[in-house]
Structure 1
Amino acid sequence: MTEVSGLVVRVGGPGDVAAVLAMFDSAVAWLVEQGRPGQWGSLPFTGDPRRTEQVEGWAAGGGMRIAEWGGEPAGCLVVGPPHAYVPAAPEPELYVQVLVIDRRFAGRRVGGALLDWALEEAGRRGVGLLRVDCYAGDDGRLVAYYERWGFTRAEPFSVGEWPGMILERRL
């Protein structure tokens, strides 16, 4: 467990599935309110069997970390192998499969604490590359978010109509 400025980052698991689905629900509702449903659609993740199975897989895979604020789940980050649509890195890496923050905790550096954990974990594993992919459509704010955390654009990609960007950060 890691503590950063009132946040605790801990290992996630099967008991966190409902909380992580609720984080996605919160993020989706906020994105829709902002007129930006392209990232994760406009429907809640809770109740969607495909999304539940996805989160259950992350929870069982060992790479899930939960950031808690005041004992409440505030964010989730999962590390593991790159998604199938992402080209392999030419060197050993740590890959961020997903990062989601419950909007109730916006502005409290939850995402930053989880990304800091990922950087530290890459160092513990002896790898010099941390990569992530994200939605690159609409106004590009998500790509800019990762750039503010020291990531650089590596390669654009598309999954059907969904525009994405692979970003990387060297240790």
Structure 2
Amino acid sequence: MMIRKGGPADVQAVLGMFDSAVAWLTERGRTGQWGSEPFSTDPARIESVSRQAGEGGMRIAEVGGEPAGCIVVGAAMPYVPSPVEPELYVQSLVIDKRFAGQGVGAALLGWAREEAAGRGVGVLRVDCYAGDDGNLVKYYERMGFSRTLAFKVGEWPGQILEMRISRDAS
């Protein structure tokens, strides 16, 4: 697996990753996280992925030369409380369902942890969907994050999690 910097040329591949995740969730009746419509047909989601691709915090994991997952890091999202100390925030993480179970998410989160340490920040934060069976929150806990604050955006239930970073781990 290789992790490389992402950019505008990756927008279609990342939209495809989201589309595969949405289809997988929809097949299981779990539309609360991202809805049931493909990201690639939603102008607001296309704009969001395009903006993130141009901001410098996007990384793409490739498996066998194919884009398999994407992480975007940067500043905290506007709907969560501001950080109380310097941090790196996982704004987005998505894995193409064709590559599920191959450690793509863990590798991308490992890259983010190393990036935070390299920047000398003490915390890596992420928020995620906390509805349904809570499996997404449990996933982040297995990856070394701890729950900090539950929140809602409208009716969407979210959970903020954080990972303490050793500043000498870089």
Tell me how far apart the structure 2 counterparts of residues 114 and 34 of structure 1 sit (CA, whole Å). Answer: 25
- TM-score of the aligned structures, taking structure 2 as reference length: 0.96
Q: 1:48: Cα distance to partner?
A: 1.2
Matching residue of 1:60: 54
Q: 1:35: Cα distance to partner?
A: 1.4
Q: Secondary structure at the match of 1:83?
A: coil
Equivalent positions of 1:20-35 (< 5 A) are 20-35=14-29
Q: Secondary structure at the match of 1:46?
A: helix
Tell me how far apart the structure 2 counterparts of residues 151 and 22 of structure 1 sit (CA, whole Å). Answer: 27
Matching residue of 1:116: 110
Partner amino acid, structure 2, of 1:14: P
User: 3, 8, 12: which one pairs with 1:14?
Assistant: 8
CA deviations 1:84-114 (Å, max 9, x no partner) are 1110111000000000000000000000000
Tell me how far apart the structure 2 counterparts of residues 45 and 106 of structure 1 sit (CA, whole Å). Answer: 19
Tell me how far apart the structure 2 counterparts of residues 75 and 126 of structure 1 sit (CA, whole Å). Answer: 25
Equivalent positions of 1:1-171 (< 5 A) are 7-171=1-165
Gaps of 5+ in 1: 1-6
Partner amino acid, structure 1, of 2:15: L
Q: 1:59: Cα distance to partner?
A: 0.2
User: RMSD of the TM alignment (CA)?
Assistant: 0.5
Q: Secondary structure at the match of 1:130?
A: strand
Gaps of 5+ in 2: 166-170
Partner amino acid, structure 2, of 1:61: E
Tell me how far apart the structure 2 counterparts of residues 67 and 82 of structure 1 sit (CA, whole Å). Answer: 22
How many aligned positions are there?
165
Partner amino acid, structure 2, of 1:27: A
Q: Secondary structure at the match of 2:14?
A: helix
- TM-score of the aligned structures, taking structure 1 as reference length: 0.96
Moved over 4 A (4+): none
Partner amino acid, structure 1, of 2:27: E
